[in-house]
Chain A
Amino acid sequence: MEQLRCSNLSVGYGEHAIASGLNFSMHAGDYLCIVGENGAGKSTLMRTLLGLQKPVSGQMAFSPQIQKNEIGYLPQKMHAQRDFPASAGEIVLSGLQGKTGRRPFYRRSEKAEARRIMHRLSIGDLADKSFRKLSGGQQQKVLLARALCASGKILFMDEPVTGLDPEAAREMYAMIGELHRDGMTIVMISHDILSAVKYADHILHIGDAGFFGRKEEYLCSETGKRFLNQREVSCDEPDHDAD
């Protein structure tokens, strides 16, 4: 089932397009990685897809089956919130805000749902801990749990592993992979092209020579080869260790 389609989409600020002529679509259960050079407009595209800014031109449409409160978002590492006084549990619970409608308070079942998600990401014991005192990896898991509370179908992530140590990054990828296997559509911006081609099944490359298609095609394309040159991924034997 198609969940999102963009045709000739240009994103940027005001009239000024940073990335233009984007054509791609997403289907239920896809694992899409958005790659490209710094400043190519990856985050701008994601913010546009999420409705945080208006597209400069072109079309962008979610399928009618996708409600606003079925989309989760893991933002790029936040700076302002570093000293925010909040417990991990409070932050995860806030992911359910979109589902409470006009109710001012959370239902007991919603609190249980938040706890269940925290346990699933093995951060159940962090619920009462202060967010600002957690490690980078733990903070990222808390924000992932919050995104899961908000999403039913699609999870948008802006560089979820940037700044994490290799072990925490590996764990994060494993969790995302598990969510994907359970049917969640994943859209991820990644700087880490090797992991992107390892885990994703579709690649959207933004830049001068744009690309959208299956990972295997990307690895054999000119854009993909140039971006991946000097790195040990060969077009003939795509890495299937991801699962």
Chain B
Amino acid sequence: MSLIMTLIEKLAFYLQYPFVRYALVVGLLIAVVSSLLGVTLVLRHFSYIGDGLSHVAFGAMSVAIVLKLSHRMFLILPVTVLCAVILLKSGQGRKVKGDAAVAMMSVGALAFGYLTVNVAGASANVSGDVCSTLFGSTSILTLTAAEVTLCAVLSAAALVLFLLLYNRLFALTFDENFARVCGINTELYNLILAIIIAVIIVLAMNLVGALLVSALIIFPTMAAMRLFESFRAVTVASAVISVICALVGILVSVLAGTPVGSTIVIADALAFGLSMPAARLRGGMS
């Protein structure tokens, strides 16, 4: 009992600080949008795109660090959006090529990013910089009010777009050919999708770091897919699971002093692990 009281007191103490509150708000927003999009990406077998794009974002981030840009987002966002559009375009109808394209872009950007930071030697602490970009070790707790605002606006926009496009996305995800026959402009919606994906990945990189971004996209969806049967239920469950995991992850990391990104991802992995016996239990009952 006293342990719980101590924890709550400790939490209340930390929540007084704006940077912890910022981290919570941003973390939960990113968790919602990334998991919503995850459903579409996983079901279209595009899971790897998140991973590839996050490496591209890392490359762009490295350049931004070297150039000592004050607003890194202005470089990272357009570069990542551009790559997302190229990847989704090349993936259409040519799965194998698209696969290889993602892999090449991904490792190329990773190598380029590391090389840039290392050679340019922008800061004394190269490995620290690289590490925090890749694993998001502290960046979430060093957010400024401006960054939080930008993140909130972008997440809200992505969320609204997702809700408005929900029925279209379902039709496109379930059967793209059928959607085209019906007269839906599938290329336009794929383009919009690519842009949203890129924005969300750049946002999520702030939370968990470049290497762990795809965890936010894949784990909640996979867990929800084991538990629910309809698209709507899977979408909602995926968002709920993702928010809970992000909340638990951030709080644990604040209290236990663990790195934020990896703590959230471990929480997501645990949720996926729990979904397996839970699904069996559900199946046994019905």
A residues contacting B by CB (< 8 A) are 47, 50-52, 67-69, 71, 73, 75, 78, 80-81, 84-87, 90-91, 93-95, 97-98, 100, 104-106, 128-130, 132-133, 146, 150, 156
With A52-B180, A85-B225: A90-B175 Cβ-Cβ less than 8 Å: no
Q: Is there contact, CB below 8 Å, between B43 and A146?
A: no
With a cutoff of 8 Å between Cβ atoms, the chain B residues found around residue A47 in the complex are 177
Please pick, from A52, A90, A128, the residue contacting B181 in the complex, using a CB distance under 8 A. A52
Instruction: Name B93's closest neighbour in chain A (CB-CB).
Output: A53
B232 at the A interface (CB under 8 A):
yes
B284 at the A interface (CB under 8 A):
no
CB distance from A217 to the nearest CB of B (A): 30
| Per-residue interface assignment for chain B, residues 53 to 92, with 1 indicating a CB less than 8 Å from any chain A CB and 0 otherwise | 0000000000000000000000000000000000000000
Q: Is there contact, CB below 8 Å, between A50 and B170?
A: no
Pairs of residues from A and B, 10 with the lowest C-beta to C-beta distance, nearest first: A98-B182, A130-B229, A68-B183, A87-B230, A94-B171, A104-B164, A98-B183, A97-B171, A86-B231, A73-B181
Which B residues, 156 to 172, have Cβ-Cβ distances below 8 Å to chain A?
Answer: 163-168, 170-171
CB distance from A237 to the nearest CB of B (A): 38
With a cutoff of 8 Å between Cβ atoms, the chain B residues found around residue A69 in the complex are 182-183
CB distance from B48 to the nearest CB of A (A): 16
Q: How many contacts A-B (CB < 8 Å)?
A: 90
Q: Is there contact, CB below 8 Å, between B230 and A146?
A: no
Q: List 13 A-B contacts (CB under 8 A).
A: A50-B177, A52-B181, A71-B181, A73-B181, A84-B231, A90-B170, A90-B230, A90-B231, A90-B232, A94-B167, A94-B175, A97-B179, A104-B168
Please pick, from B167, B177, B234, the residue contacting A97 in the complex, using a CB distance under 8 A. B167
CB distance from A123 to the nearest CB of B (A): 16
Please pick, from A75, A80, A85, the residue contacting B228 in the complex, using a CB distance under 8 A. A85
**Measured CA separation A50–B165 after assembly (Å):** 24
B103 at the A interface (CB under 8 A):
no
Q: Is there contact, CB below 8 Å, between B166 and A133?
A: no
With a cutoff of 8 Å between Cβ atoms, the chain A residues found around residue B181 in the complex are 50-52, 68, 71, 73, 150, 156
With a cutoff of 8 Å between Cβ atoms, the chain B residues found around residue A98 in the complex are 182-184
With A71-B181, A81-B174: A86-B230 Cβ-Cβ less than 8 Å: yes
Instruction: Name B163's closest neighbour in chain A (CB-CB).
Output: A104
Q: Is there contact, CB below 8 Å, between B234 and A68?
A: no
Instruction: Name A74's closest neighbour in chain B (CB-CB).
Output: B178
Q: Is there contact, CB below 8 Å, between A97 and B43?
A: no
With a cutoff of 8 Å between Cβ atoms, the chain B residues found around residue A128 in the complex are 230
Instruction: Name B234's closest neighbour in chain A (CB-CB).
Output: A85
With A85-B229, A86-B174, A86-B231: A105-B180 Cβ-Cβ less than 8 Å: no
Which B residues, 208 to 241, have Cβ-Cβ distances below 8 Å to chain A?
Answer: 225, 228-234
Instruction: Name A88's closest neighbour in chain B (CB-CB).
Output: B230
Q: Is there contact, CB below 8 Å, between A52 and B177?
A: yes
List 16 additional contacts besides A75-B177, A97-B184; criterion CB under 8 Å: A67-B183, A69-B183, A84-B43, A85-B43, A85-B230, A87-B229, A94-B179, A95-B178, A97-B168, A100-B167, A104-B164, A105-B167, A129-B229, A130-B229, A132-B229, A150-B178
Q: Is there contact, CB below 8 Å, between B167 and A106?
A: yes
Of listed B165, B228, B231, residue having the most chain A CB within 10 A: B231
With a cutoff of 8 Å between Cβ atoms, the chain B residues found around residue A51 in the complex are 180-181
Q: Is there contact, CB below 8 Å, between B178 and A75?
A: yes
**Measured CA separation A75–B229 after assembly (Å):** 22
Instruction: Name B225's closest neighbour in chain A (CB-CB).
Output: A85
With a cutoff of 8 Å between Cβ atoms, the chain A residues found around residue B175 in the complex are 75, 78, 81, 94
Instruction: Name B170's closest neighbour in chain A (CB-CB).
Output: A94
Q: Is there contact, CB below 8 Å, between B231 and A87?
A: yes
